[in-house]
Amino acid sequence: MFYIIGPRGSGKTTIGKKLAESKGYQFVDTDKLILERAGKTIAEIVEQYGWEYFRQLETETLKSILQDKTIVSTGGGLVLAEENQKIMRDNGTVIYLNAKPDVLAKRLAAEPQADQRPSLTGKSLVEEIEEVMQQREPIYRATAHHVIDATQSIDDIIAQLNDLT
C-alpha cells in the first residue's frame, strides 16, 4: 500500500493514478471518496460543518482504505492529524511529492477548481501556499518514508516510485 501526500497542485492524483496503472493496483483519492460519500463538495462540507468536521471525515475515510495493493492519494491537509500520520506509516509506504510554492501556484492557476475547497487563509494563492507550506512542510517530511521532487516529469517520478518496491 502506498500513500501519496503533499500540497494541492503537487500531482498526487495524477501520479497516484499512473503508479496504480503501472503496478496493477487499485487507486483511491481520499478527497474524491469524501465527495462521493457526502454528496457534497469539500467547499460545501466546510461551509456547512466547518474544517474540524471535514478533518474527521478525512480520518474516517483513511481508516476505511486499508486493503493491499492500493495507491492512496490524500488531501493536502490529511497529514495534520497525528492519527492519520500513524495510520499511513503503519500500513504502507508514504511518498511526499515536494514542490516549491511558486510551482504549486502556477499549476493551480492553470487548472482552477474553486469548488474543490475554500481558501484556508483568504490570501492570494501564492501567499496562501507559502503560509500553508511553512506549517506543513515539516509534517510532510516527518510522515514520509520517501521525498520525491514533484517538478520532474511524470515518467521520471513513476520510474523512481517503481524502483522503491
Q: At which residue does the C-alpha cell 492519520 appear?
A: 84
**Total-model pTM:** 0.89
CA end-to-end distance (rounded Å), the chain? 10
- Does 107 carry a binding-site annotation? no
At 115 the pLDDT is 45
What's the fold here for domain 2-155?
A: Rossmann fold (3.40.50)
Cβ atoms of 101 and 133 closer than 8 Å: yes
Q: Give the separation between CA 150 and CA 51, rounded to whole angstroms.
A: 27
Residue 113 assigned as binding residue? no
- Boundaries of every domain in the chain: 2-155
74 belongs to an annotated ligand binding site: no
Q: Look at residue 100 in the predicted model and tell me its pLDDT.
A: 87
| Residue 91 confidence (pLDDT) above 70 | yes
Q: Tell whether residue 6 is among the known ligand binding residues.
A: no
Q: Who's near 63: CB < 8 A, 6+ residues apart?
A: 87
What type of residue is 103?
V
Alpha-carbon dihedral 48, 52, 56, 62, rounded to 10 degrees: 100
pLDDT band at 110 (very low <50, low <70, confident <90, very high): confident
Find out whether 152 is annotated in a ligand binding site: yes
136 is in an annotated binding site: yes
For residues 144 and 140, what is the distance between their CA atoms, to the nearest angstrom? 6
Q: Tell whether 12 is in a known binding site.
A: yes
Q: Which pLDDT score, from 0 to 100, does residue 124 have?
A: 75
14 assigned to a ligand binding site: yes
Q: Is 76 known to sit in a ligand binding site?
A: yes
pLDDT in tens, 10-68: 999 999 999 999 999 999 999 999 999 999 988 899 999 999 999 999 999 999 998 89
55 is in an annotated binding site: yes
How far apart, in whole angstroms, are the C-alpha atoms of residue 152 and residue 109?
A: 19
Q: Is 70 labelled as part of a ligand binding site?
A: no
